[in-house]
Amino acid sequence: EGDTIEIDIPEPKILEVNPQDIALDILYEDDDLIVVNKPRGLVVHPAAGNHDGTLVNALMWHCTNLSGIGGIIRPGIVHRIDKDTSGIIVAAKNDRAHLSLAAQFKQHSITRVYLAIVVGIPPADSGTINAPIGRHPSERKKMAVVPGGRNAVTHYRVLERFQHNALMEARLETGRTHQIRVHMTHLGYPLLGDIVYGKARSRCAMLSGQALHASVLGFVHPGSGQYLEFTVPMPADMQELAAKLRLE
Protein backbone atom coordinates (compact mmCIF):
# COMPACT_ATOMS: atom_id res chain seq x y z
CA GLU A 1 0.00 0.00 0.00
CA GLY A 2 1.29 3.44 -0.87
CA ASP A 3 3.79 2.08 -3.44
CA THR A 4 4.35 4.19 -6.51
CA ILE A 5 4.50 2.24 -9.74
CA GLU A 6 5.93 3.90 -12.81
CA ILE A 7 4.81 2.70 -16.20
CA ASP A 8 6.45 3.63 -19.47
CA ILE A 9 3.80 3.99 -22.14
CA PRO A 10 5.39 3.90 -25.59
CA GLU A 11 4.45 6.61 -28.06
CA PRO A 12 1.71 5.40 -30.40
CA LYS A 13 3.15 4.50 -33.77
CA ILE A 14 1.56 6.42 -36.61
CA LEU A 15 1.05 4.09 -39.52
CA GLU A 16 2.31 5.78 -42.64
CA VAL A 17 1.03 4.50 -45.94
CA ASN A 18 3.34 5.34 -48.81
CA PRO A 19 3.00 4.91 -52.58
CA GLN A 20 4.94 1.93 -53.94
CA ASP A 21 5.69 1.02 -57.52
CA ILE A 22 3.92 -2.35 -57.62
CA ALA A 23 2.64 -3.58 -60.99
CA LEU A 24 -1.15 -3.51 -61.41
CA ASP A 25 -3.25 -5.58 -63.83
CA ILE A 26 -5.73 -2.81 -64.74
CA LEU A 27 -8.99 -3.91 -66.38
CA TYR A 28 -10.63 -0.47 -66.54
CA GLU A 29 -9.93 3.06 -65.35
CA ASP A 30 -11.53 6.50 -65.58
CA ASP A 31 -11.76 9.64 -63.41
CA ASP A 32 -14.11 7.97 -60.89
CA LEU A 33 -12.76 4.48 -60.39
CA ILE A 34 -10.22 1.81 -61.23
CA VAL A 35 -10.87 -1.93 -61.66
CA VAL A 36 -7.93 -4.29 -61.15
CA ASN A 37 -7.27 -8.03 -61.23
CA LYS A 38 -5.57 -8.73 -57.89
CA PRO A 39 -3.03 -11.56 -57.82
CA ARG A 40 -3.05 -14.22 -55.10
CA GLY A 41 -0.82 -13.23 -52.19
CA LEU A 42 -1.39 -9.46 -52.41
CA VAL A 43 -2.99 -7.91 -49.31
CA VAL A 44 -5.63 -5.26 -50.12
CA HIS A 45 -4.73 -2.66 -47.48
CA PRO A 46 -2.12 -2.16 -44.74
CA ALA A 47 -2.82 -3.75 -41.34
CA ALA A 48 -0.88 -5.33 -38.50
CA GLY A 49 1.86 -7.46 -40.03
CA ASN A 50 1.42 -5.98 -43.51
CA HIS A 51 2.47 -2.33 -43.44
CA ASP A 52 3.43 -2.07 -47.08
CA GLY A 53 3.48 -4.04 -50.31
CA THR A 54 -0.32 -3.89 -50.45
CA LEU A 55 -2.82 -3.04 -53.18
CA VAL A 56 -3.35 0.36 -51.50
CA ASN A 57 0.38 1.16 -51.82
CA ALA A 58 0.19 0.25 -55.52
CA LEU A 59 -2.97 2.33 -56.08
CA MET A 60 -1.41 5.35 -54.35
CA TRP A 61 1.54 5.15 -56.75
CA HIS A 62 -0.67 4.78 -59.82
CA CYS A 63 -3.60 7.12 -59.04
CA THR A 64 -3.35 10.85 -58.38
CA ASN A 65 -6.54 10.77 -56.33
CA LEU A 66 -8.31 8.12 -54.23
CA SER A 67 -11.41 8.54 -52.07
CA GLY A 68 -10.72 9.46 -48.45
CA ILE A 69 -13.75 7.77 -46.87
CA GLY A 70 -11.76 4.66 -45.89
CA GLY A 71 -9.25 6.80 -43.95
CA ILE A 72 -5.48 6.93 -44.38
CA ILE A 73 -5.01 3.15 -44.27
CA ARG A 74 -7.69 2.37 -46.85
CA PRO A 75 -7.83 5.14 -49.46
CA GLY A 76 -10.10 4.16 -52.35
CA ILE A 77 -11.02 0.79 -50.84
CA VAL A 78 -14.74 0.01 -51.09
CA HIS A 79 -14.57 -3.79 -50.69
CA ARG A 80 -11.93 -6.44 -50.07
CA ILE A 81 -10.97 -9.91 -51.16
CA ASP A 82 -8.73 -12.13 -49.03
CA LYS A 83 -4.96 -12.02 -49.45
CA ASP A 84 -4.84 -15.52 -50.96
CA THR A 85 -7.89 -15.04 -53.20
CA SER A 86 -7.22 -13.65 -56.67
CA GLY A 87 -9.54 -11.63 -58.85
CA ILE A 88 -11.43 -8.44 -59.53
CA ILE A 89 -11.62 -5.49 -57.17
CA VAL A 90 -12.91 -1.95 -57.77
CA ALA A 91 -11.44 1.11 -56.01
CA ALA A 92 -12.93 4.61 -55.90
CA LYS A 93 -11.00 7.73 -56.89
CA ASN A 94 -13.37 10.20 -55.22
CA ASP A 95 -15.90 10.23 -52.39
CA ARG A 96 -18.93 10.44 -54.67
CA ALA A 97 -17.90 7.24 -56.47
CA HIS A 98 -17.08 5.60 -53.14
CA LEU A 99 -20.52 6.35 -51.66
CA SER A 100 -22.30 5.11 -54.79
CA LEU A 101 -20.34 1.83 -54.91
CA ALA A 102 -20.64 1.29 -51.14
CA ALA A 103 -24.42 1.72 -51.38
CA GLN A 104 -24.56 -0.90 -54.16
CA PHE A 105 -22.57 -3.36 -52.04
CA LYS A 106 -24.88 -2.68 -49.09
CA GLN A 107 -27.97 -3.27 -51.24
CA HIS A 108 -26.42 -6.52 -52.61
CA SER A 109 -27.06 -5.25 -56.15
CA ILE A 110 -23.47 -5.85 -57.28
CA THR A 111 -22.76 -8.95 -59.39
CA ARG A 112 -20.03 -11.04 -57.75
CA VAL A 113 -19.17 -14.46 -59.13
CA TYR A 114 -16.27 -16.60 -57.91
CA LEU A 115 -14.64 -19.77 -59.21
CA ALA A 116 -13.54 -22.33 -56.62
CA ILE A 117 -12.07 -25.83 -56.58
CA VAL A 118 -13.40 -27.85 -53.65
CA VAL A 119 -12.50 -31.06 -51.82
CA GLY A 120 -15.13 -33.70 -52.56
CA ILE A 121 -17.94 -33.64 -55.11
CA PRO A 122 -21.31 -32.08 -54.27
CA PRO A 123 -24.10 -34.39 -55.55
CA ALA A 124 -26.44 -31.55 -56.58
CA ASP A 125 -25.63 -29.60 -59.76
CA SER A 126 -26.66 -26.36 -58.08
CA GLY A 127 -28.06 -25.02 -54.84
CA THR A 128 -28.28 -22.16 -52.37
CA ILE A 129 -26.59 -21.96 -48.98
CA ASN A 130 -28.52 -19.70 -46.63
CA ALA A 131 -26.67 -19.83 -43.30
CA PRO A 132 -25.76 -16.93 -40.97
CA ILE A 133 -22.06 -16.13 -40.51
CA GLY A 134 -20.34 -14.65 -37.46
CA ARG A 135 -17.08 -14.93 -35.52
CA HIS A 136 -16.04 -18.47 -34.65
CA PRO A 137 -16.92 -18.97 -30.94
CA SER A 138 -13.43 -20.14 -29.92
CA GLU A 139 -11.06 -19.36 -32.82
CA ARG A 140 -11.42 -15.59 -33.11
CA LYS A 141 -9.52 -15.22 -36.39
CA LYS A 142 -12.02 -17.49 -38.11
CA MET A 143 -15.61 -17.01 -39.16
CA ALA A 144 -18.26 -19.74 -38.84
CA VAL A 145 -21.91 -20.52 -39.43
CA VAL A 146 -23.39 -19.45 -36.08
CA PRO A 147 -26.93 -18.87 -34.79
CA GLY A 148 -27.51 -15.13 -34.60
CA GLY A 149 -24.77 -14.44 -37.16
CA ARG A 150 -25.26 -12.02 -40.06
CA ASN A 151 -27.52 -13.12 -42.89
CA ALA A 152 -25.39 -14.82 -45.59
CA VAL A 153 -26.53 -16.31 -48.92
CA THR A 154 -24.39 -18.07 -51.56
CA HIS A 155 -25.75 -19.58 -54.80
CA TYR A 156 -23.54 -22.31 -56.25
CA ARG A 157 -23.26 -24.37 -59.41
CA VAL A 158 -21.01 -27.35 -60.17
CA LEU A 159 -19.15 -26.58 -63.42
CA GLU A 160 -16.99 -29.71 -63.62
CA ARG A 161 -16.54 -32.89 -61.57
CA PHE A 162 -13.10 -34.49 -61.20
CA GLN A 163 -12.13 -37.74 -59.46
CA HIS A 164 -12.15 -36.32 -55.92
CA ASN A 165 -12.80 -32.62 -56.46
CA ALA A 166 -15.11 -30.23 -58.27
CA LEU A 167 -14.84 -26.86 -60.02
CA MET A 168 -17.62 -24.65 -58.71
CA GLU A 169 -19.14 -21.29 -59.46
CA ALA A 170 -20.30 -19.33 -56.39
CA ARG A 171 -22.49 -16.25 -56.76
CA LEU A 172 -22.61 -13.98 -53.73
CA GLU A 173 -25.93 -12.51 -52.69
CA THR A 174 -24.32 -11.13 -49.52
CA GLY A 175 -20.63 -10.47 -48.94
CA ARG A 176 -19.63 -11.60 -45.46
CA THR A 177 -16.00 -12.13 -44.45
CA HIS A 178 -14.75 -15.49 -45.82
CA GLN A 179 -18.33 -16.23 -46.94
CA ILE A 180 -17.62 -18.77 -49.70
CA ARG A 181 -14.90 -20.49 -47.67
CA VAL A 182 -17.20 -20.80 -44.63
CA HIS A 183 -20.30 -21.82 -46.61
CA MET A 184 -18.56 -24.50 -48.69
CA THR A 185 -16.93 -25.93 -45.54
CA HIS A 186 -20.36 -25.91 -43.86
CA LEU A 187 -21.74 -27.84 -46.83
CA GLY A 188 -18.95 -30.40 -46.39
CA TYR A 189 -16.80 -29.35 -49.37
CA PRO A 190 -13.99 -27.05 -48.19
CA LEU A 191 -11.87 -25.22 -50.74
CA LEU A 192 -8.72 -26.93 -51.94
CA GLY A 193 -5.69 -25.19 -50.42
CA ASP A 194 -7.76 -23.65 -47.59
CA ILE A 195 -6.08 -25.16 -44.53
CA VAL A 196 -7.73 -22.57 -42.23
CA TYR A 197 -11.21 -23.99 -42.83
CA GLY A 198 -10.56 -27.35 -44.49
CA LYS A 199 -7.56 -28.25 -42.31
CA ALA A 200 -5.55 -31.31 -43.46
CA ARG A 201 -8.25 -32.35 -45.95
CA SER A 202 -7.58 -29.22 -47.98
CA ARG A 203 -3.79 -29.45 -48.27
CA CYS A 204 -2.59 -28.72 -51.78
CA ALA A 205 1.07 -28.50 -52.78
CA MET A 206 0.25 -26.62 -56.00
CA LEU A 207 -1.33 -23.56 -54.35
CA SER A 208 -0.25 -20.99 -51.77
CA GLY A 209 -3.72 -20.46 -50.33
CA GLN A 210 -7.30 -21.36 -51.20
CA ALA A 211 -8.42 -22.19 -54.76
CA LEU A 212 -10.71 -19.17 -55.02
CA HIS A 213 -10.89 -16.52 -57.74
CA ALA A 214 -13.20 -13.50 -58.05
CA SER A 215 -13.99 -13.93 -61.74
CA VAL A 216 -16.92 -11.55 -62.37
CA LEU A 217 -17.70 -8.11 -60.94
CA GLY A 218 -20.60 -6.00 -62.19
CA PHE A 219 -21.91 -2.65 -60.92
CA VAL A 220 -23.61 0.57 -62.01
CA HIS A 221 -21.06 3.29 -62.80
CA PRO A 222 -21.39 6.11 -60.22
CA GLY A 223 -21.07 8.80 -62.89
CA SER A 224 -22.72 7.51 -66.07
CA GLY A 225 -25.34 5.24 -64.49
CA GLN A 226 -24.30 2.56 -66.99
CA TYR A 227 -23.97 -1.08 -65.87
CA LEU A 228 -20.39 -2.33 -66.25
CA GLU A 229 -19.35 -5.98 -65.93
CA PHE A 230 -15.83 -7.39 -65.92
CA THR A 231 -14.76 -11.02 -66.28
CA VAL A 232 -11.31 -12.50 -65.70
CA PRO A 233 -10.38 -16.18 -66.19
CA MET A 234 -8.80 -18.24 -63.42
CA PRO A 235 -5.12 -17.48 -62.76
CA ALA A 236 -2.46 -19.84 -64.12
CA ASP A 237 -2.02 -21.76 -60.84
CA MET A 238 -5.74 -22.65 -60.64
CA GLN A 239 -5.87 -23.52 -64.35
CA GLU A 240 -2.86 -25.84 -63.93
CA LEU A 241 -4.50 -27.41 -60.89
CA ALA A 242 -7.75 -28.04 -62.80
CA ALA A 243 -5.77 -29.55 -65.71
CA LYS A 244 -3.97 -31.91 -63.30
CA LEU A 245 -7.26 -32.95 -61.62
CA ARG A 246 -8.77 -33.74 -65.04
CA LEU A 247 -6.03 -36.33 -65.62
CA GLU A 248 -6.56 -38.18 -62.32
Point out the residues that are catalytic: 82
Residue of 66, 76, 82, 63 lying closest to 102 (CA atoms): 76
At 230, give phi and psi (nearest 5°). Answer: -120, 140
Judge contact between 78 and 102, C-beta under 8 A: yes
Q: Write the DSSP assignment of 45-104 as a string of letters.
A: S-BTTB-SSSHHHHHHHH-S---STT-SSSTTBS----TT-EEEEEEESSHHHHHHHHHH
The rounded distance, in Å, linking the Cα atoms of 215 and 228 is 14
Spell out the residues 6+ positions from residue 107 whose beta carbon is closer than 8 angstroms to its own: none
Beta bridge partners of 167: 117, 160
| Residues 158-187 as b or e (16 or more Cβ within 10 Å = b) | beeebeebbbbbbbbebbbebbbbbbbbbb
Residue of 37, 43, 93 lying closest to 65 (CA atoms): 93
Residue of 115, 125, 83 lying closest to 211 (CA atoms): 115
